[in-house]
Amino acid sequence: MLIHDKNLGHIKLQDIPVPDGAYDFFGTYTYSGRVLVSYHSVNDPKEEDWYNVITINDDGSGLREIFSGVIPKIPGANGIRWMCFSDNKRILLGDYVLECSPDLDRCIHSELIPVKYPDEFNNAPGIFCRWSEIIIAPDNCHMAWTTLTMNTAVNYLAKLVRNEKNYSLKEVCVISSTELAKPDQDNEGYSTLLPVRGGEVKQFIWGGKALTMVGNGDSITESVVQPLESNEIIQITDTPGYEETTIFSPDEKMGVVMSPRFSTKTNCAIFGLIPQPHSMITRSKMINILYMYCVAGVRAFRKGNVGPVLIDIERSKKEGRKYEGVNLSDPEGRWVYYSPISWHPDSTRAMWNERTRMTEGPTKCRLRMCHLLDYTSKGVVPSFVTPDMKDIPYAKSFSLPKDQNIDEILPLMIKGKNRGRVVNSVEKAEQPVYISKYEDFSDDGKSIYNGYISVKAPSSIFAPGKTIFEADLEVKGVHNGEMKLRAVFNREGVHAPAMLSFNQGEDGKTESRGYSTYDGVTLKIEDMEI
């Protein structure tokens, strides 16, 4: 399949061949440009957690067996990941490192070495997932991972040290936010929101001196970069809908992002069409339900896609919502994106994983690749030693994650830089209601906000139940908009996707109803998929 973009030229989309009989497979590019594939086969022994691991060229040739055997899953882990070291000799799996000799391309011997996490993680109360994502830096030494509780995510950075019988994590530090706000020194009774560092870690960039992840903007979520040596957060995407992480090309000029932006009936843009500054405390209470709707739901049964989308990094940063990127999703809507995304070292080829929906019968897999035929790489960004805690201004000493009780700091008032204020508050109950109220608020003096948004949700963001979003919000000035909206999402179980309810409520009205309009664009909730 060949597509054309007026700026990037011709882009070829194709499948990467895998061995006959392989199923339930995942693939990723290695640092040498070959493709690492893990798969199951009809000929496998009937043992649980049996994996076959090979490397091939991205045309399917040059197969090299690396490993066949059992990789025991350890409780508290998010399965198995395949993160290649830049030395091209090792693969970080999460709870193991697979060492290959002499390297991944010519492997004649491999050994599975366990990774020992800090003892404090053993049976620690409240930890939902010891690691949900893991990444290894290009210096082959530093590792970052995300730990989940039922209410928060904490990111750690450490040195991965090879011992005689295992790897251990040394000099562990916390690199995500531990505080949400601080007192406003210039305005008594008001607070200043601090940069939010969080979301799952996905990739080291800048030669190992920054991380890519999903973060917060003024809409729902955005793709961001978190530098390790400064306090800034750099926003990469600006979309009204749900957005995930961008994986940068080796020259860091291009990116592939997990994004439903081209799936108009499931991208949840209605909730972020009007930017909602200083409201992350409220909006954070519905991020997981939106993921379960527009990602998990689409993967399971719902019509739509979650990308991926090819972007020019600088254009995405500078042009914001005016820049869409290139839609790489299946035009027939049959195949759905799954991670990981990875890049060939020449920066002209990227690959990802796709699967059919579970409701359409036995799941089929394919490895998908895009080739930028007219793109010239700017060269691989050189590697550096990743900073340690002493060089990271916001890093904190190791501690176990604790559920953040946001209620303790509420109400929280933010003074507009030009006029008015935003009041973040909570109505405490078995299902608390979080509210962000705009009172003649303006930061830029050009657009003025009045009204509110609110979210009523289970106390744990991962818990099943009902989540209710309501808004009566107006913006006037250079930008004009209005959101009169009510949305009710239901989840019947922990692993169940979210369902948008259009049932009749106790008031005789449809439970989900209303619209958002902003600068001439209007979205109606009735147009969304159930």
- Residue 220: per-residue pLDDT: 93
Cα distance between the two ends of the chain: 31
Task: Inform me whether the pLDDT recorded for 405 exceeds 80.
Answer: no
How far apart CA 111 and CA 66 sit, in angstroms, is 10
Which residue, among 239, 240, 302, 301, has the nearest Cα to 266 in the 3D structure?
Answer: 302
State yes or no: pLDDT of 462 exceeds 90.
no
pLDDT at 133 over 90: yes
Two tokens, residue 94: 């999460």
Rounded Cα–Cα distance for residues 336 and 301 (Å): 10
Mean pLDDT of 129-154: 94
Q: Is residue 403 predicted with pLDDT exceeding 80?
A: no
E runs forming strands in 357-405:
365-372, 396-397
Strand-pair partners of 182: 192
Mean pLDDT across the stretch 43-72? 96
Q: Mean pLDDT over residues 319-332, rounded?
A: 97
Determine the pLDDT at residue 150.
81
Predicted pLDDT of residue 134:
98
Average pLDDT for 368-397: 97
Of the listed ranges 39-48, 222-231, 303-312, the one predicted with least confidence: 39-48
Write the Ramachandran bin of 252: left for phi over 0, alpha for psi from -120 to 50, otherwise beta.
left
pLDDT reported for residue 376 = 96
Which domains, from first to last, does the chain contain? 2-179+195-262+305-397 (2.120.10.30), 406-527 (no CATH)
Examine the pLDDT at 181 and tell me if it is beyond 90: yes
Predicted confidence band of residue 215 (pLDDT cuts 50, 70, 90): confident
Residue 498 has pLDDT above 70, yes or no: yes
> Is the per-residue pLDDT at 345 higher than 90?
yes
Instruction: Indicate if the pLDDT at residue 430 is higher than 70.
Output: yes
Q: How many angstroms separate the CA atoms of 426 and 432, rounded? A: 7
pLDDT tens-digit map of 104-125: 999 999 999 999 999 998 878 8
Structure tokens at 497: 């996707």
- What secondary structure letter does DSSP report for 244? -
Percentage of the chain with pLDDT > 70?
A: 100
E-strand spans in 199-308? 201-205, 210-215, 222-227, 234-235, 246-248, 254-257
Mean pLDDT over the full length of the chain: 95
Written as one letter, the residue type at 236 is: I
Mean pLDDT, residues 374-388 taken together: 97
pLDDT at residue 493, as a whole number: 85
Q: Are 93 and 117 in contact (CB under 8 A)?
A: no
pLDDT-derived band of residue 404, with 50, 70 and 90 as boundaries? low
For tokens 């009780």, the residue is 405
Per-residue confidence (pLDDT) for residue 125, from 0 to 100: 84
Binned at pLDDT 50, 70 and 90, residue 300 comes out as very high
**Cis status, amide bond into 17, omega within 30 of 0:** no
